[in-house]
Structure 1
């Protein structure tokens, strides 16, 4: 759980296509969670979400009112609080997700300019592109597209089984808020300790 996993791998792929890009993220998430075979959340794991989502069980959002974007740590700027350090790690991990979408668009030209098709048809196009991408990642030892973006696959997990009760809605809880705060403190303290040792 305390690992910033590479989400480009084949494990845990979930696709919900068909929503318009202008739809509110929270509404799309509610739809994904309410479906019969909806978005699975393995017990003890979480999805990284941006500040537009609720920080609730299974969904880890950044701290608000803290530096967040990678550009804010350029030129040797260091994190000074656990919340800032957490946000830096969070945005780095989310950057990997953005790279995954970049790889998809590089490989499948049809999704670069799919707006010429009706929404329903776009969903039918996107689904096989994602599934083929997962198949390629699973069966190719070297994917030439990754050379453009780099390969972070060494962090992939093998276990894809789901444990526990499914999450069917997201609401903030003090327990989850405390967990995020404690996690931020733990990784910040580890980083500070390693800096002083080196």
Structure 2
């Protein structure tokens, strides 16, 4: 089953959409989310960082394709151009979703054994776990779980679907490219000035 979520940098879920089959593409699910009454729209002047499985849009910024992305790839060789710096920082910030899911799965082991339940029950369990997770982040953050997730992520960095990423299309895709290029150029100028 596919689960589309948005989260904050303090590891809370702000949007959860359940029920799509596992074979559905990320971009197809996002297109559906944007047409729903309870859609996931970025506030004016803001955007979401998404992996390359999604379509580049003005409010959903993907990393640059064909450019180094993972944090480990930069451990010995610093970024050499604006695209690499953007991808490095994108990966670093996007790591919040990986951490959020890691904490969720560690906190609620039932999520690893969902195959015995029907789809409706799975949806209810996952949603309940996300709601409880948000509550516990404030009132019982369990620093040991968070530390373990951070160690696991450092050892097992995922691919973030870079090989299968969607290509920008249409006017909104062009606006996304312009915004991403502008952010990358500004980051690069600041980076060069400091180094």
TM-score range, shorter chain: 0.7 to 0.9
Query: Between Structure 1 and Structure 2, which shows a larger proportion of strand residues?
Result: 2
Task: Tell me the distance in 2 between the aligned counterparts of 1:36 and 1:179.
Answer: 27
**Counterpart of 2:79?**
79
Counterpart-to-counterpart distance in 1, 2:186 and 2:86:
10
Provide the residue aligned with 2:122 in structure 1: 122
| Match in the other structure for 1:180 | 180
1:20/1:119 contact within 8 Å kept: no
Within a 5 Å distance, the mapping from 1:1-198 to structure 2 comes to 6=9, 8-9=11-12, 13-74=14-75, 76-140=76-140, 142-144=141-143, 145-149=145-149, 172-195=172-195
Matches of 1:37 and 1:62 in 2, distance apart? 26
Alpha-carbon offset, residue 7 of structure 1: 5.5
Q: Distance in 1 between matches of 2:10 and 2:183?
A: 20
- 1:100 aligned counterpart, secondary structure: helix
> SS of the counterpart of 2:172?
coil
SS in 2 for 1:15: strand
1:18 aligns to what SS in structure 2? strand
Q: Secondary structure at the match of 2:17?
A: coil
| Ranges in structure 1 where 5+ consecutive residues have no aligned partner | 151-169
Hey, what's the Cα distance between the residues in 2 that align with 1:36 and 1:135?
25
Q: Which has the higher contact order (CA 8 A, sep 6+)?
A: 1
How far residue 137 of structure 1 moved from its aligned partner, in angstroms, is 1.7
Q: CA deviation at 1:171?
A: 5.7
How much does 1:22 deviate?
2.0
What is the distance in 2 between the residues matched to 1:43 and 1:115? Answer: 40
The answer (yes or no) to whether the contact 1:8–1:100 under 8 Å persists in 2 is yes
CA 1:19–1:175 in structure 2 vs 1: closer, same or farther (change >3 Å)? closer
Instruction: Give 5+ residue unaligned stretches, structure 2.
Output: 1-7, 151-169
| Residue 5 (structure 2) aligns with | none
For residues 23 and 109 of structure 1, what CA distance do their matches in structure 2 show? 25
Post-superposition CA distance 1:37-63 (Å, at most 9, x none) = 122321111111122222112100111
For residues 72-118 of structure 1, give each alpha carbon's deviation from its aligned partner in whole angstroms, at most 9, with x where no partner exists: 223x2111110011011111122221111010000001112212212
Q: In 2, Cα distance between the equivalents of 1:65 and 1:121? A: 40
